[in-house]
Amino acid sequence: MHFKKIFVFIALSMVIGFLGCAKEKVEAPKQERITKNLVPPTVEVKGTNFSIALSDLQVVTTEDTTSKEIVETPSLQGRIKITNISKNNLDIQAVTVDYFDEAGKPIDFESGDKIANANLYLKVLKPEETGEGSLDVTIPRKAVKGKALGKMVINLVYVSSPLNRETATFPEKIE
């Protein structure tokens, strides 16, 4: 008899639990991640000391599903390939991106935007050597919203030199 009461109690608890869970509505996500390809998706530019090739360029935005407003700072993603075409070593420090509209005026970030328009690279390239990596920087909302983007300027921050590095040895001991 005692087992019967326990069994009934467990069965009623399970029924109440299932009915309670079934009444909750499952809502659709309120935000949607949208990826758009840039046209052209691949571009190559030559400088005096280097060649830069960008490929698989995409703009990734997060939008509110009801209002279609961009809720986070968009990002520009892709692949970058840097080739040293000089006769010296290039100590690549970073790659930065600036955005301009059709008239050539800079497109600024709005207040509240996350500004991360630089990628650290930190690699030494010997003459004729190539380095590859990923590009992941933010892009102003204004450039994406009204399709105001006219051009992007890629800045390669590097040191061109023979890179004579010296080491110093200190006669210290840990005791």
Output the pLDDT for position 81: 93
| Cβ 135 vs Cβ 116: under 8 Å | no
Output the pLDDT for position 9: 64
Residue 104 DSSP one-character state: S
44/81 Cα distance (integer angstroms) = 9
Q: Tell whether pTM > 0.85.
A: no
Output the pLDDT for position 175: 46
Output the pLDDT for position 116: 86
**Boundaries of every domain in the chain:** 31-161
Residue from 87, 92, 143, 147 nearest 119 by CA: 92
Output the pLDDT for position 1: 56
Output the pLDDT for position 150: 84
Q: pLDDT of the chain along its 175 residues, tens only?
A: 566 666 666 766 666 666 665 555 556 668 888 888 888 878 888 888 888 898 998 989 888 888 888 888 899 899 999 999 998 888 888 888 888 888 888 988 888 888 888 888 788 899 999 999 998 999 988 888 876 888 888 888 888 776 555 555 566 655 4
Output the pLDDT for position 137: 92
Architecture of domain 31-161: Sandwich (2.60)
